[in-house]
Amino acid sequence: MIDFFKLREHKTNVRTEVTAGFTTFMAMLYIVPVNAAIMSASGMPYDALITATAVITIIASILNGFWANTPIAMSVGMGLNAYFSFGLVKGMGIPWQSALGIVFVSGILYVLISMTPLRRWMIETIPMDIKRAVSAGIGAFIAFIGLEQMKIIVDSPSTLVTLGNFHDSHVLLGLFGLALAIFFTLKNYRGAFILSIVLTTLFAWISGIEKLPEQFISMPASMAPIAFELDISSVLTLTMVPVILIFLITDLFDTLGTLTGVGMRADLFNEKGSVPLQKTIEADAVATMLSGLAGVTSTTSYIESAAGVEEGGRTGLSAVVVGLLFILPLFLLPFFQAVPSNAIYPILIVIGVMMFGELQHINYQDPAVKYSTFFIVMGMPLTYSITDGLLLGALVYVFIHLVQGNYKKIDIAMGVLASVALLVFFVL
């Protein structure tokens, strides 16, 4: 079975892949309770969502591990779930059953597209400097999420964002965890991220900042209230076409950005006609379709996979490990909920800094690259969307070339992305 993953060919081993998988798992663990909280705002039962989120993460990650043999973990998209609850159900008054139907239909379209060279072609034909900008942009986005969740950065009615309260014990715990993560990383400790999480958690429990769980084991809640409860017939109307397209486009380009950024760090998809890339896309598409059946929103490739990549994960074995580990929240959710979030989010900041380093390789002499890089890197965290940042950058890239009269220098892929940007920003 181990030979299936071609570990020697990828210059890795079982221990490294397992460590990488566990690291990604710890970085993604927040997904289960957070997604359940967001989607339950639509009226769906929280307990069933806990189980469904874990189950679809298990299926999607293991599917990608075996099918594509890449270290990309997959789970429910953290932007579309908010759009699902607050945009569709609460905003447009669409029943959650119909909203799940939208997810399923967009998943079918995604599968059809993944069977063509379109997605792979777009990633392969994007200029290298833009790929580097995407990687750095995702790094900025990851770091911003970490800073926000740790309350180092908080919202402000006057300045939009401001510095958090450094007298808060939880903020100080996060800073302690961040210091550990940076220290162990600089010292090149194997398993630096895991070590910092474990030590920060122990410190939180010993100091009393966080309480030990009252119980450690709980039986999984049933998925029956939401699984296969989607209503497809009600969404097969012209009025639902724009909504379906939004789900499709967002999922397409969230994964596009993630695979580009993480792939740059792991040197996964650089060769032309990359089979692992195409198969990762296919796994992502199938998982998206299954998510509608399971009762959650679209599944996507997760930027937290970068945590495992930085630990040396290079094959699907690490993705399989992630999937298997997500069985634990089904039975040990009270225990895992006791792990402080501020022991986990410092890892995202360190990873963000690592990915941000891709900016040093960009050719800023090209005005189109310079301006598009700025909008990509700033756009992703400021819009809280990988998709919007990528599309803003593509739009600027094409605009600069048009202003300069360099029509022939506009890559077809960037032209397509710019066209999609015009459609998403000004039409849909």
pLDDT tens digit sequence for 152-182: 999 999 999 999 999 999 999 999 999 999 9
Q: Where are the domains of the chain?
A: 2-212+222-362
Paired tokens of 311: 């630990």
pLDDT above 90 for 388: no
Give residue 122's pLDDT: 62
Say which residue, 387 or 127, is predicted with more confidence: 127
User: Would you tell me how many other CB atoms lie within 10 Å of the CB of residue 414?
Assistant: 23
Whole-angstrom distance, CA of residue 68 vs CA of residue 173 = 38
All residues at 6 or more sequence positions from 73 whose CB lies less than 8 Å from its CB, including other chains: 24, 25, 28, 57, 60, 61, 64, 301, 302, 304, 305, 308, 318, 319, 322, 323
Residue 226 pLDDT grade (very low, low, confident, very high; cuts 50, 70, 90):
very high
Q: Residue 154 phi/psi, 5° resolution? A: -130, 165
Q: Is 169 helix (H, G, I), strand (E, B) or coil?
A: helix
Say which residue, 258 or 159, is predicted with more confidence: 159
Whole-angstrom distance, CA of residue 212 vs CA of residue 208 = 9
Block residue for tokens 């189109």: 368
Residue 428 pLDDT grade (very low, low, confident, very high; cuts 50, 70, 90):
low
pLDDT above 80 for 117: no
Does residue 6 come out as left (phi exceeding 0), alpha (psi in the -120 to 50 range) or beta? Answer: left
Let me know: does 43 contact 89? Beta carbons within 8 Å.
yes
pLDDT tens digit sequence for 322-380: 999 999 989 877 776 677 888 888 888 888 898 898 899 899 999 999 999 999 999 98
Whole-angstrom distance, CA of residue 317 vs CA of residue 94 = 40
Q: Residue 116 phi/psi, 5° resolution? A: -110, 165
Mean pLDDT, rounded, of the chain: 87
Say which residue, 103 or 213, is predicted with more confidence: 103
All residues at 6 or more sequence positions from 45 whose CB lies less than 8 Å from its CB, including other chains: 221, 225, 226
Give residue 8's pLDDT: 86
Give residue 251's pLDDT: 78
User: Whole-prediction pTM value?
Assistant: 0.72
Degrees to nearest 5, angle at CA 68 with 48 and 251: 55
Task: Lowest mean pLDDT of 12-16, 88-92, 262-266, name the range.
Answer: 262-266
Say which residue, 123 or 310, is predicted with more confidence: 310
Average pLDDT, integer, range 97-108:
94
Average pLDDT, integer, range 38-56:
92
379 CB-contact burial (10 Å; exposed 0-12 / middle 13-18 / buried 19+): buried
Give, rounded to a whole angstrom, the gap between the first and last alpha carbons of the chain.
47
Give residue 98's pLDDT: 95
Give residue 391's pLDDT: 86
